[in-house]
Structure 1
Amino acid sequence: MRIRRSKLDTLREMEVNPYPYSFERTNFTNEIIENYETYEDKQVAVAGRIMSIRIMGKASFFHIQDQNGKIQVYIRKNEVGEQTFEVFKILDIGDIVGIKGKVFKTRTEEVSVLAEEFVLLSKSIRPLPIVKEKESDGEKIVYDQFADKELRYRQRY
Structure 2
Amino acid sequence: IDVLDLRGCLDTIIGDALVRGLSGGEKKRANIACELITDPAIILLDEPTSGLDYSIALSLVKTLKQYTTERNKMVITTLHQPSSQMFYQFDKLLLMSEGELAYFGDSENVLTFFKDISMPMTEHYNPADFIVEKLREDEKTRRKIVDAADAIRGT
* TM-score tier after normalising by the smaller chain length: under 0.3
Q: Which has the larger radius of gyration?
A: 2
* Structure with more of its chain in strand, by fraction: 1
Identify the structure with bigger relative contact order (alpha carbons < 8 Å, sequence gap 6+): 1
> When the two structures are superposed, what TM-score results if normalisation uses the length of structure 2?
0.21
> When the two structures are superposed, what TM-score results if normalisation uses the length of structure 1?
0.21
